[in-house]
Chain A
Amino acid sequence: MKRKHYFNPRMLLYDFALMGTNAFVPIAVILLTYIFLYFLCFKSQFDSSIYLSMSESVITFIGSWWVFHLMRPIVEDDGGELYLTFPVKRSYLGAFRVVRMWLIYALLLVFYCLGINIISGISVVDLWVQLSIQSMFFICSGFLCVVVTKSASYCWIISAAYAAFYLLTENDHFKFFSIYTLSSRIIGAADFMAAYGFKIILFSIISLVAGQLVFCKR
């Protein structure tokens, strides 16, 4: 069995090409968020907690956009079942590509965190650990959501509803299921991992495995 497509860089390019303009949305949102924060930092009496709240609410959530549009050709588009007739493992079409998307998104977050560090002095490592793990949750749960609902639009609504619920209620209800720290200052990477990180990683792995099982049953 040939498995050369797994690490063929052209396959990654095709994944993005298949998304069309949707491939640029997370990059554009990250860029716009940074520009907004950059200009905001010149404002007098500027509250630095906005860096964290903006990053937590926007940057983590938008990571799932890629996964919705990565899976859409298979689960939603007419004739998407065709992909399942190719000699390609479903673990490649599903979990492998999702994890690869998260790695690319985490790489993108390195640049964002470096930018935030320049304007606010927030530790790059601390911020990156927090944002990349939180975005992992959205990416993995987005995968589960898209294979269950077979609709990128529904997934977008579900993810937005989850984020809105915890951000608007400030973690008052069902706190255990929240991935948000809603802290006004950065928590160190080690403290974040102890308080939130392992729980979020567990949620992400459960979502990824469950999503893959549902996808394999198609």
Chain B
Amino acid sequence: MSDILSISHLTKRYKKLTALDDLTIELKPGVWGLLGTNGAGKTTLIRILATLMRPDNGEITMGSISWKKPDDVRYVLGYLPQSFGMYRYMSLYKSLEHIAILKGLEGDVLKSEIERVLKLTNLTEQSEKKVKELSGGMVRRLGIAQALLGNPKILLFDEPTAGLDPSERIRFRNIISSVSRDKTVMISTHIVSDVETSCDRVAVINKGKLLAYDSVSAIAQKAEGKIAEIEIPVDRLEEKQKELNVISISDEENGKIKLRYLCDNSDVKIKPTLEDGYMYLTSDFDGNM
């Protein structure tokens, strides 16, 4: 079976709004970051991939599996929704057991799978605790654990680090890197630093269209020669923000701040980051849309 997740001419409309517009992409196994502003179409794409929604046009396949038969897809799918608030009254172990049965696991495989995902997510010691007694970060890890049950080939994470503290975000990245082998993992987020540190490749979408998909460094390179920096007094920030396509602002030092911005042609060679590349692709700057 081919491991390439092939998305072809995918279109989804909500009345007059086109959420996905003829999107075509081939996703090789690895960790993919799906970047886009709010309303770019990330959640729609994730929901279609998760079989929660049908596209108006286009098709998705992975080897012999077609999204036209959602039941087949669900056996190879692990999904973590944006918020995970179920199973309040049940213990962590029982919650996973319930999901494992729903995923078609049974007997010894069921037990060993639960133990495996508990270990991976470092939740073994909390397994008898009720979900309502867990911290937000632990509930998120439970969400990841349930997605990993059954060792699915496709993992979809919708805004997985939203609301997590820095240590939990690092933990999330470590879990992803340890489980991503031979899998297609898609992380939908608008937090660029998460993609930079966790993903091998990035797909950038805006207003339902795919702008680019490539490795993290290749996306960053799109902004090569288009980045400049300027140091200005703090009181001129507002004026400069109106004038320039500001990407980031440094912390204040001696009453001055450094602005990083997009420009036509930069004389100074600055190594672009993924954030620069993403901003370059998604901004109206230089007609790039």
Contacts and interface: CB of A to CB of B under 8 A. Distances in A.
Interface in A15-51: 17-21
A212 to B, nearest CB: 17
B143 interface: yes
A77 B95 CA distance: 15
B83, B90, B98, B106 — most chain A CB neighbours (10 Å)? B98
A84 B81 contact: no
B86 A73 contact: yes
Contact of B74 (A79, A81, A87): A87
Contact of A86 (B81, B83, B103): B103
Contacts of B52: 81, 84-85
B86 A86 contact: no
B102 interface: yes
A86 B99 contact: yes
Interface residues of B, number: 30
Given A4-B106, A14-B94, A79-B143, A85 B79 contact: yes
B274 interface: no
Interface size of A as a range: 20 to 34
Interface string A44-88: 000000000000000000000000000001000111111111111
Interface of A: 1-2, 4-5, 8, 10-11, 14, 17-21, 73, 77-89
Interface of B: 47, 50-52, 71, 74-75, 77, 79, 81-90, 94, 97-99, 101-104, 106, 143, 146
21 contacts: A11-B98, A11-B101, A14-B90, A14-B94, A18-B86, A18-B87, A18-B98, A19-B89, A77-B85, A78-B81, A78-B86, A79-B82, A79-B84, A81-B81, A82-B146, A85-B51, A85-B74, A86-B99, A87-B71, A87-B74, A87-B103
